[in-house]
Chains A and B, each alone.
Chain A
Amino acid sequence: MSAASLAHARHVLSGNPVTALAFGLFALLVGTAIIGPELVPFDPIAAAGPALQPPSARHPFGTDAIGRDVFSRVIAAARLDLGMAFAAVAIVFACGTLAGAAAGLFGGWTDRIVGRLADTIMAFPLFVLAMGIVAALGNTVTNIVIATAVVNFPLYVRIARTEASTRRGAGYVEAARLSGYGEAHILFREILPNLLPIMMVQVSLTLGYAILNCAGLSFIGLGVRPPAPEWGIMVAEGASAIISGEWWIALFPGLALMTAVFTFNLLGDGLRDIVDPRRRT
């Protein structure tokens, strides 16, 4: 990023405290995911006190049905939840952007095959397809990540394809072609770098959806195995307790989940203002 665009980003941020807040929350989340599990006061997978204790000074988020400290579990879960979402988005970012850019640049059969693939995925309600993929590939965390990447594929393809096809005839692409560079060079060195800013906005927006998708899958009992701390499974564990009034077991992991999704959505909107001011709403 050049000095001018840094200055531009600073200008946008100073006029937009909400985006600054989103960057702050993002730093907090990532920090929690990296060092949180090291810092927690109690072992997240071992009993730390009597079961079903409401929030207190010793256990700020209370304890769950087998006496584990909910606060420690919520903090420790950030690593797995964010890890799954980041991995899924990294996969789909690489594959989806490449496939979409190739479809937009080359047209013809590439376009038809990529388009048909994306349409077929879009023919399913996305969460349902993700369930089917996990059922077929096996009930593991890796497959949750793969399923989440697959269901996001059409979105990346569509955006990368549109952006690439509008740049197909751009001056710098023509110039590269006239200089004798091949289509692969044009795809990787001319088109893809120019798609990065737009795709980064998409990355941030889909991170929120990816977290919801992974947490939803583990909520219904897929992938993550107890006693591993993970927000979706923790909400599921708290579901039976909430009917008898123990609200804290499900509430805090649910709030953590919401905060993470909220942060990524705000961040995506903010990034869009910086990258693509025309689409500001």
Chain B
Amino acid sequence: MMLAVIAGRLAAALPTLAGVVVVTFLLTRALPGDPAAYFAGPAATREAVEQIRAQLGLDRSLGVQFLGYLRELARGDLGLSITTGQPVLSDIVARLPASAELTLLALLFAALAGISLGALAALRPNGWLDNLCRVIATLGVCLPAFFTGLLLIYVFYYLLGWAPAPLGRLDAFAAPPPHVTGFFLIDSLLAGDGETFRSALAQILLPALSLGIFAVAPIARITRGSMLAVMSSDFIRAARAHGLSARTVVIAYALRNALLPVVTTLGMVFSFLLGANVLIEKVFAWPGIGSYAVEALIASDYAPVQGFVMTMGFLYVLLNLAIDLLYRVIDPRMEVTA
């Protein structure tokens, strides 16, 4: 049953994935100016440009070019980065764990803070916590993530001296832990290396916090709204009338039901997080795929940018798929309609 559901959802995601590929292809063909002249360099003769054009396949029809593009894609060939001299795919694979670790930690923080804040606010409508929740929900969406990051750096690095310099995943003297998952926090624990773990944690806290604050607002807002609705429903009144403890009513009955709409908004939250991730990586010199794309973009090195856009598109579609499946796990009623 569950397998059939997964297969069904995967099949439904295929047109979207195809859309991602088509858009990325169109973006590669819309390069500013003449790509052949660009790749040939400023000193190239007319013949050299034509030769490059033929080499790149730019003289053929759009359909033929698209087929060639698909063939390259199937081989995992996303082109070469001019800046690093490496294949884009291996660059992205090497840098993806850094971005994933940062984004997931930020999401964890945002979910914990947002859900507890929203739920507690809903338990005492118009109490001080509710007002705090409203202020955070209003201000949080106005904060540009890159600006929050800089403010945190100023306070915690410059003024208080608690945080290390915002320069990457580890301080300059620490060596990265042996590669298992690529997540420094997990790898250093696996290696039993407490010092590396502390260093990695100190480096990741501020960027994860700046990224997470951005996502606290929507999560808290949705949790508060749905918790308010759930708390006034009949089954909560029934649970209370049966004499269940306040703790059981709130956590086992109300929160579990209130979380359903929160899970559906996770897709939107991820769209925010993955986008803001690029900005945060630039602020904190974080060696992830976002800063990779930004550096390439500034150097007019387009293959990494296109590889990055496609990777993010694929990741986002898969994340939405995972969220969809998670929703079915939390809400058994969905299986009937699946």
Contact = CB atoms under 8 A, between A and B. Distances in A.
Contact of B138 (A126, A222, A243, A265): A265
B282 A258 contact: no
B18 to A, nearest CB: 9
A138 B32 contact: yes
B293 A136 contact: no
A137 B282 contact: no
B275 A281 contact: no
A219 B146 contact: yes
Contacts of A254: 144, 147, 150-151
Contact of A215 (B24, B144, B150, B275): B144
Interface centre among A126, A135, A238, A245 (most CB of B within 10 A): A135
Given A123-B16, A128-B308, A221-B294, A242 B27 contact: no
B309 A128 contact: yes
Contacts of A266: 138
Interface residues of B, number: 58
Dominant SS among interface residues on chain A: helix
Contacts of A247: 154, 158
B312 A258 contact: no
Interface in B42-92: none
A238 to B, nearest CB: 7
Interface stretch (B175-183, B236-244, B247-255, B297-305): B297-305
Contacts of B147: 235, 250, 254, 257-258
B144 A119 contact: no
Interface string A222-240: 1000000000100110110
Contacts of B297: 131, 134-135, 139, 220-222
A129 B23 CA distance: 10
A236 B279 CA distance: 10
A257 B148 CA distance: 12
A34 to B, nearest CB: 23
Nearest to B279: A216
B243 to A, nearest CB: 33
A243 B271 contact: no
A215 B276 CA distance: 12
Interface range on chain A (Cβ under 8 Å from partner):
35 or more
A219 B165 CA distance: 20
A23 interface: no
Contacts of B272: 125
Contacts of B165: 243
Interface string A200-232: 000000001000100110011110000000001
A123 B298 contact: no
Contacts of A125: 270-275, 312-313, 316
Contacts, number: 157
B282 A219 contact: yes
Interface centre among B19, B31, B300 (most CB of A within 10 A): B19
A243 B166 contact: yes
Interface centre among B144, B147, B294, B302 (most CB of A within 10 A): B147
A216 B146 contact: yes
Nearest to A140: B32
A127 interface: yes
A238 B144 CA distance: 15
Interface string B222-266: 000100000000000000000000000000000000000000000
A239 B17 CA distance: 37
B141 interface: yes
B37 interface: no
B144 A128 contact: no
A257 B278 CA distance: 19
Contacts of B143: 258
A124 interface: yes
A212 B138 CA distance: 15
A135 B306 contact: yes
Contact of A250 (B32, B150, B276): B150
B266 to A, nearest CB: 13
A128 B298 CA distance: 15
A116 interface: yes
A265 B140 CA distance: 11
A109 to B, nearest CB: 16
Interface in A135-169: 135-139
Interface centre among B142, B158, B297 (most CB of A within 10 A): B142
A125 B270 CA distance: 8
Given A125-B316, A220-B294, A239 B275 contact: no
A221 B146 CA distance: 13
A276 B187 CA distance: 53
Given A133-B27, A221-B297, 15 more contacts: A120-B19, A124-B312, A127-B276, A131-B305, A136-B28, A137-B30, A139-B297, A208-B142, A216-B144, A220-B278, A220-B279, A250-B147, A257-B147, A258-B147, A261-B144
Interface of A: 116, 119-120, 123-129, 131-139, 208, 212, 215-216, 219-222, 232, 235-236, 238-239, 242-245, 247, 250-251, 254, 257-258, 261-262, 265-266, 281
18 contacts: A120-B22, A124-B20, A124-B23, A128-B312, A131-B297, A136-B27, A136-B31, A208-B142, A215-B144, A216-B144, A220-B294, A243-B157, A247-B154, A247-B158, A254-B150, A257-B144, A258-B142, A262-B139
Give the top 6 A-B pairs by smallest Cβ distance, nearest first.
Answer: A127-B275, A138-B32, A120-B19, A132-B309, A125-B274, A254-B147
